Structure 1
Amino acid sequence: MVCLTASAASAQTLTQPLGGAPQPFGPPPPLGVPSLSQSPPPPLALKQVVVNAGAIFAESNEPIRSGLVWRVFEDRGDTSQPNIVARSSSPTPSFTLAPGNYIVHVAYGFASASKRITVQSGNLNERLVVSAGALRLKGAVGESPIGQNRVTFSVYVPEAQNSEGRLVIANAKPNDVIRLPEGTYHVVSTYGDANAIMRSDLKVESGKVTEATLNHRAATVTLKLVASEGGEAFAGTAFSVLTPGGDVIREAIGAFPSVTLAEGEYVLIARHEGKVYTKEFKVESGLDRDIEVLARAAP
């Protein structure tokens, strides 16, 4: 730090002759000496320091080349809200900082790492170690992959007091790269919007992408109320799909709504113009088909 010392200017007083202009007392200041009315020179700017940052995977020490979000906070040493002074999404950012104390934080999806640094002079190189990997998930029925918009995945962290665990991410799509801290996770795959659900426990290893396909035993059925087999479906029919025990699985209204169901036995109830029709049916995995209820079969 450079200290500047300014010499004090000579004190001056003004005398005001009665009815005349003010006259200075004593000689004027020599050239080059600032008077009290002049602004002091601006302080010299503090020297900036460049911090080059990067992240590596734990275990393998391989550099992380994508998916990073960096933030640099002022380290105030208290409990007040930290102030962000820089951020970047580059895998190897360079931050220009004034001398001081900082916290460098990097996020890799749901995993993160942070480090306290002191910036004084010269350039700094900082490498943060992240214990993280990723999941890439798919869904299938038998050998047939499930379409991108027909299956979603939810990822949970197992907890001792919770059989399913704490939700980390919901509604992830097939082939999404889900970046997570190293550990074991409970994955729930939902095919359609009814009861076609599969579960699996998967392990995420540092620096690796765990790929998994969750195989469903399910099929999609189209519900119809018809006057005769193969006939035209009645519009505005209200359908309810129940288990043999009477639990409602899915309700829909329309001429021929579709529903994806887990393999098993069901009861279909169709309501149209004040009349009720029923039919028992079975869902076989991978066998998509129409389920027709005959209107003449009403009791």
Structure 2
Amino acid sequence: MIRFARAFGRSPAVRCPVPRRRGLRLAALLCAALAVAAPALTAPRDAAAQTMQFLGPPAAPPPAGPFQTPPNTPRPAFQAPGGGAPGLAPSSREPHAVLPQAPPGKAALGVFARFGADGAPIPRGLVWRVFADQPESTGAFPLVAESSEATPVFFLNPGGYIVHVSYGFATVAQRVQMGPLSRRQAFEVAAGALRLSADVDDKPIPAQKLTFDIFEGSFLQGRTSSQPYYRGASAGEVVLLPEGTYHVVSTYGDANAVVRADVTVAPGKLTDATVHHRAAQIMLKLVKVAGGEAQADTQWTVITPGGDTIKESIGAFPTFVLSEGDYTAIARKDGKNFSREIKVEAGKNQEIEVLAK
């Protein structure tokens, strides 16, 4: 079983007409900001789905390099002779409404990413790479620039480029043609985040005892991939994923306590999902008398009523996490076998003695 929740909310976009004067387009659009407040949505008490503006590492100071220049007097990003304005129309709520002056012979490319076509700008956690759009003799596309800033500005020679941006496991690549004029470019990264946890009998399971494998597709609809999209996710880890449906396999311990569930990742949202296990922790010991000392170097095997082996171990106090059900614990010591039938109930951890007689 699984429970999850998402909080949705978005302020309406503000659209402004483009003024014209004698056929010339103005270089910058001047719009008065409208105060728009979207009604707050109340999430369920145990839900932690929220917008993802905090995700990713804090923005680092701009690195020095050939693609950064000291700030000069800024100019409108799209001012061009004759009123031409390549790129997107600037918005007061989006980055790069004004770009810095480019060095001679170069043009400024201001890039940013947002959560889908109508989503908010992504504030951090992005990795940008700019490649030339023509391969070298080796077949590789040369890397021209890269940045881990949320809204970098690249100063590029005129020509064609491929700009690649990654946000966790979500990636987008787009061809950009640079001329003599500076421009801005938005990238639509339809990505969300998933944070997983698990419990037994409504009690949280310690993170160190859990692992999660994430597969693309829906297990319930029979359309899941055979290889994990992300293997070994930890409880509480925020995993950035492209929007869509994913199949989660939760493993509690290292035996047969496994639960499967489908979850949906929405763009710009953090989805918290809790997997409900029905299992318990069992500690075994071989004793000569009830309450006696556990015998060291004992070989253990736990099998099902049908004879299938679930877990094997060697030691005085082996501990297993088993799904609820009936099992047989077999102890081998000094060439002799000793066994006991055990019953596992969800959430009821037990210490079970096997008498050596």
Output the TM-score relative to the length of structure 1.
0.80
Query: Quick one: which of 89, 103, 107 aligns to 2:148?
Result: 89
Amino acid at match of 1:154: D
Report the identity percentage: 47
Query: Quick one: which of 123, 126, 132 aligns to 1:65?
Result: 123
Q: Which residue in the other structure is 2:274 paired with?
A: 213
**Residues 204-238 of structure 1: CA deviation (Å, up to 9, x unaligned):** 11111111100100111111001111211000001
Amino acid at match of 2:133: D
Give aligned pairs, total. Answer: 252
Conserved 8 A contact 1:158-1:165? no
- Write the distance in 2 (CA, Å) between the matches of 1:239 and 1:59: 58
Amino acid at match of 1:105: H
2:348 partner SS: coil
- Say if 1:77 and 1:164 are closer, same or farther in 2 by CA, change over 3 A: closer
Per-residue deviation, 1:164: 5.8
Conserved 8 A contact 1:158-1:166? no
5+ residue gaps in structure 2? 1-102
Query: Quick one: which of 255, 271, 285 aligns to 1:224?
Result: 285
Per-residue deviation, 1:77: 6.8
Amino acid at match of 1:138: S
Per-residue deviation, 1:46: 6.6
Per-residue deviation, 1:169: 0.3
Question: Does residue 1:142 correspond to 2:142, yes or no?
Answer: no
**Residues 50-85 of structure 1: CA deviation (Å, up to 9, x unaligned):** 221110011542011122111111101799221111
Q: Which residue in the other structure is 1:42 paired with?
A: none
Q: Which residue in the other structure is 2:257 paired with?
A: 196
Please state which structure has a larger fraction of its residues in strand.
1
Amino acid at match of 1:113: V
Conserved 8 A contact 2:297-2:315? yes
Name the structure, 1 or 2, with higher relative contact order (CA <8 Å, separation 6+). Answer: 2
Q: How does 1:67-216 map to 2 (within 5 A)?
A: 67-76=125-134, 80-158=139-217, 165-216=226-277
Output the TM-score relative to the length of structure 2.
0.67
Conserved 8 A contact 2:215-2:224? no
- Write the distance in 2 (CA, Å) between the matches of 1:80 and 1:46: 31
Amino acid at match of 2:343: K
- Write the distance in 2 (CA, Å) between the matches of 1:77 and 1:237: 63
Per-residue deviation, 1:257: 1.2
Q: Which residue in the other structure is 2:114 paired with?
A: 56
Q: CA RMSD in A?
A: 2.0
Q: Which residue in the other structure is 1:266 paired with?
A: 327
Per-residue deviation, 1:121: 2.1
- Say if 1:47 and 1:217 are closer, same or farther in 2 by CA, change over 3 A: same
Amino acid at match of 1:80: G
Amino acid at match of 1:57: F
**Residues 31-51 of structure 1: CA deviation (Å, up to 9, x unaligned):** xxxxxxxxxxxxxx9722222
- Say if 1:163 and 1:127 are closer, same or farther in 2 by CA, change over 3 A: closer
Q: How does 1:39-50 map to 2 (within 5 A)?
A: 47-50=105-108
- Write the distance in 2 (CA, Å) between the matches of 1:282 and 1:218: 11
- Write the distance in 2 (CA, Å) between the matches of 1:136 and 1:209: 7
1:167 partner SS: coil
Amino acid at match of 2:236: N
Per-residue deviation, 1:157: 1.0
**Residues 75-123 of structure 1: CA deviation (Å, up to 9, x unaligned):** 0179922111111121111222222210111111111112111122232
1:149 partner SS: helix
1:62 partner SS: coil
5+ residue gaps in structure 1? 1-44
Question: Does residue 1:279 correspond to 2:306, yes or no?
Answer: no
